A and B are shown apart, each in its own frame.
Chain A
């Protein structure tokens, strides 16, 4: 290649054949936003049906399809790809690499996603309907008693797993091999660290999920009885395998979020991240613990008491490294010079709400109490505090934080802050009352409920519509920024921001760090 810079190809070919990490990152981000809207639409149908007692809009069978697809689309279509997109954009720029280590595989791991979700969504129009067994698809409801569309669902899960594994291998290869000279591991930005650990989790557990769905496929079509007691199998085996994947999965979702917050809070506190080393160790501890706690999702399946105790103690331990992280973030803010631009607002929102989700997580870890919480709306409230206020808020913060660097234009701050406050209020109105109905005895995944739960459910639905509507403002703000935002060419868009990504021109050129930057050995991590 000559020493001239060349830009992107023209037309649709640019996107179909691109191997550029920024293009692929952009596609991942747009795709995940589209899925966020789709999964959100499913959620709106759920909340509309639950607005009042009685069946009004949909039938119970369709309601179950909605809860199932909402979960699947949000987890596998919105949250995970959004962080992969962020990793694509930011990791090379944060470690001073020109691109991802395996750019062609990168293209492939993105492009298999849209057809997969098209296939998954198409099951809605199949005879027998879409999968209706919940995103946790417990056998035998998902095998012997499943609609025919389950086979397409299994195929989708396989392809999604393939995409995730390819994406993870790419991230591991990039971080291990392409750091700029002088960028030692303990100098990497925390976002890179959390993603490196996440990538290992993905490589470890996605094959387990693939194993689970393959066993389902065998049970359904080839006469095996892995999960059928009638044939000598064990329905609980399915849950063990699923949660051996599923528990690390929730950390796969939240660890990159931790990384984002660890970048943004120091920037708007104008003070380095407190306890960088302990943050790295805490992330690694959480990742390790995530492999030995899976059965806390199954306290009521009738495990022996020794098993219950083991999983309870191990789960309680997770509070320690998670607490360390929260304390470090707050110590980072302590005696800084704080400003409250939109990314910071979303990070503070994250901090408060994620911590509440952590508290309810600790409560859920207590096995005897979980006999009352399990499969109630308390659990629904808990994991939405972690998934939405944790992962989605931090992702939103990330978009506002890096958008000016990506497109060289500033977003509308007033609109951003408005988005935050509407989101914050809408979110809490939706999910806080769900703690109450859960504790009062409302089971999850029901299309209709007893009259004593009516008021809180109505509140929840109103909150959900508010939260949903606020995302339209977000979309508008992002598009308006890209099209006609106030141009900025400052390399360091935020005065407190640190890191290599802020040393390249704004907007970031198509190719960055074609020659590796020099990292000052004396300079602390960023």
Chain B
């Protein structure tokens, strides 16, 4: 008893609850949330206040207009014997209901303009993060931090079995990623938003940031919050098949914690550099390759390499053909198709691992493998 019964009850009570909670401040991500969340930023609160102001103005006008109409429906019905009047124009009232709304609009325009200017105030940022939209994941790159440059991809973590209902859905179903964007609290962060393929849109309601990610263009947005926490969002612009499956998770932590996190990431990046010079065993490459495959290839090529949007990898001419041809497609993609150039997305270790994996999994028992240094040399040409 259940969840179903409870849900039906909630469904029935829904309209009542809505009215009750419509006026209360709703925090984000709540079940059956009915209103915009004021979020955790100053701009977010400004937007929320503006939203509520306009909403209430509309409600008041609506009550007035519909009140008159319903009174008329009640009082001026023929069945009550009401005789029709014959008046049909009045310049005075026409002028009144042209001019008065005009002034109401002017009153709305002031707070709207000031909030908009705040949204556009991208100056004096303490740090910059490049956000790049890919089909169907986000890449984050921290600019100008001292030390090793940090950048990583952020993929949906929800499993296919949850999506296809063979497993219980988790609490943050579709709103969880393998690696969240980590930001320090109390810091003005400027986002430089762009895209690699089609147009995406980076939206985190709690941070009141939504900016289109457009290939070939760099848009600016910014946020600053004192409140530590996890904030979740999604891609807002239709970007193809898995538009619904590229969430955003932002983890806002204290400055100290951010410093530690950054140091770890930098150490990892340095480690990758070292790894690139190493030689791996087949087992190491296969293990790493499977993880890379699941994150990057599975959506199009299927869990068993059977294909889908992309071609099948199991038994494919590419995966069972020349190694260099296989690597070429991995690094450079197939222009004009959904097969992206992964050369810039995967480091050489991951690339070597996934190519090796594809050649030796799904029944493709090629037995050959490729090392990071080979990928590096291939990219160099």
Contact = CB atoms under 8 A, between A and B. Distances in A.
B29 A275 contact: no
Interface in A42-97: 53-56, 60-61, 64
Contacts of B73: 333, 338, 340, 348
Given A141-B198, A270-B84, A271-B84, A448 B217 contact: no
B298 to A, nearest CB: 14
A141 B84 contact: no
11 contacts: A145-B240, A302-B212, A305-B117, A312-B116, A320-B102, A324-B94, A336-B82, A368-B119, A371-B47, A372-B36, A455-B31
B344 to A, nearest CB: 14
A473 interface: no
Interface string B29-43: 111111111000000
A317 B119 contact: no
A440 B34 contact: yes
Nearest to B136: A60
B338 A334 contact: no
Interface string A444-461: 111111111011101100
A447 B34 CA distance: 21
A366 B107 CA distance: 12
A252 to B, nearest CB: 23
B199 to A, nearest CB: 6
Contacts of A474: none
Contacts of B209: 371
Given A352-B66, A375-B203, 20 more contacts: A53-B173, A54-B165, A64-B238, A140-B198, A141-B240, A145-B197, A300-B210, A331-B93, A335-B87, A337-B76, A348-B69, A359-B61, A363-B51, A368-B46, A368-B50, A368-B118, A371-B47, A443-B236, A448-B163, A448-B244
Given A145-B198, A355-B65, A452 B238 contact: no
Interface in A294-338: 300-302, 305, 308-309, 312-313, 316-317, 319-320, 323-324, 326-327, 330-338
Contacts of A356: 62
B236 A368 contact: no
Contact of A330 (B72, B215, B235): B72
Interface in A373-393: 374-376
A363 B55 contact: yes
Interface stretch (B10-18, B276-284, B368-376): B10-18
Interface residues of B, number: 107
Contact of B236 (A145, A269, A376, A433): A376
A332 B211 CA distance: 45
B354 interface: no
Interface of A: 53-56, 60-61, 64, 132-134, 138, 140-141, 144-145, 228-230, 234-236, 269-278, 300-302, 305, 308-309, 312-313, 316-317, 319-320, 323-324, 326-327, 330-340, 348, 351-352, 355-356, 359, 362-363, 366-369, 371-372, 374-376, 433, 435-436, 439-441, 443-452, 454-456, 458-459, 524
Given A301-B212, A338-B76, A455-B14, A313 B109 contact: yes
Given A326-B65, A366-B112, A445 B47 contact: no
B255 interface: no
A449 B174 contact: yes
A329 to B, nearest CB: 9
A362 B78 contact: no
Contacts of A323: 97, 101
A447 B136 CA distance: 14
Given A335-B76, A367-B112, A60 B119 contact: no
Given A366-B108, A375-B201, A141 B54 contact: no
Contact of A324 (B97, B105, B198, B242): B97
Nearest to B197: A145
Contact of A320 (B85, B90, B101, B162): B101
B239 interface: yes
Given A338-B73, A376-B236, A302 B214 contact: yes
A180 B172 CA distance: 67
Interface of B: 7, 10-11, 14, 18, 26, 28-37, 46-47, 50-51, 54-55, 58, 61-62, 65-66, 68-69, 72-73, 76-79, 82-90, 93-94, 97-98, 101-102, 105, 108-109, 112-113, 115-120, 135, 162-165, 169, 171-175, 193, 197-199, 201, 203, 205, 208-212, 214-217, 219-220, 232-245, 309, 336, 338
A497 B112 CA distance: 45
B34 A436 contact: yes
Contacts of B165: 54-56
B172 A320 contact: no
B211 A300 contact: yes
Given A369-B47, A459-B14, A269 B84 contact: yes
A161 B376 CA distance: 53
Contacts of A269: 76, 84
Nearest to B29: A452
A40 B67 CA distance: 34
Contact of B87 (A274, A317, A330, A348): A274
Given A300-B211, A436-B34, A441-B205, A276 B65 contact: no
B163 A54 contact: yes
B233 A54 contact: no
A504 to B, nearest CB: 25
A234 to B, nearest CB: 8
A220 B242 CA distance: 23
A339 B79 CA distance: 7
A439 B76 contact: no
Contacts of B69: 330, 333, 348, 351-352
B84 A337 contact: yes
Contacts of A374: 201, 210, 236
Contacts of A451: 31, 169, 171, 173
Contacts of B37: 440-441
Nearest to B99: A320
B89 A452 contact: no
Nearest to A144: B336
A439 B232 CA distance: 14
